[in-house]
Amino acid sequence: MTAAVLYIVATPIGNLGDMTYRAVRILGEVDLIAAEDTRHSLKLLNHFGISRPMTSYFDHNQQFKGERILNALRQGKSVALISDAGTPCVSDPGYQLVRDAVAEGIPVIPVPGACAAVAALSASGLPTDNFTFAGFPPSRQGKRRAFLKEMSALPGTLVLYEAPHRLLESLLDIRETLGERQVVVARELTKIYEELVRGSVSKVMEHAAQGKVRGEVVILVAPGKAMPREVEALTDVLRRVMTDDSVSVKDAARKASEITGVSRSEAYDEALRIRNNAD
What are the domain boundaries of the chain? 6-114, 117-221, 231-278
Q: What percent of the chain clears pLDDT 70, i.e. is strictly above it? A: 96
pLDDT at 226 over 80: no
Q: 23 — phi, psi (to 5°)?
A: -60, -40
Q: What is the pLDDT of residue 178?
A: 92
CA-based nearest residue to 167, from 213, 233, 100, 123: 213
Q: What is the pLDDT of residue 225?
A: 64
pLDDT at 227 over 50: no
Which of the pair, 9 or 260, is modelled with greater confidence?
Answer: 9
- Is CATH 3.40.1010.10 the classification given to domain 6-114? yes
Q: How many residues does the chain have?
A: 279
pLDDT at 136 over 90: yes
pLDDT at 153 over 90: no
Pick from 12-16, 35-39, 205-209, 261-265: least confident:
261-265
CA-based nearest residue to 39, from 56, 62, 63: 56
Pick the CATH number of 117-221 from 3.90.550.10, 3.40.190.10, 1.10.3080.10, 3.30.950.10: 3.30.950.10
Span 212-241, average pLDDT: 79
The answer to whether 26 touches 98, Cβ cutoff 8 Å, is no
pLDDT for 157-207, tens place per residue? 999 999 999 999 999 999 999 988 999 999 999 999 999 999 999 999 999
pLDDT at 51 over 80: yes
Q: What is the pLDDT of residue 229?
A: 47
Q: What is the pLDDT of residue 276?
A: 82
For 193, residues 6+ apart whose C-beta sits below 8 A from its C-beta are 187, 214, 215
Q: What is the pLDDT of residue 220?
A: 98
Burial class (CB in 10 A: 0-12, 13-18, 19+), 86: buried
Alpha carbons within 13 A on the beta-carbon side of 1: 20
CA distance 207 to 122: 22
pLDDT at 228 over 50: no
Task: Tell me the pTM.
Answer: 0.79
Span 216-244, average pLDDT: 78
How many angstroms from the chain centroid is the CA of residue 60? 21
pLDDT for 195-225, tens place per residue? 999 999 999 999 999 988 888 899 999 998 6
Q: What is the pLDDT of residue 154?
A: 86
pLDDT at 111 over 60: yes
CA distance 3 to 12: 26
pLDDT at 232 over 60: no
Q: What is the pLDDT of residue 259?
A: 80
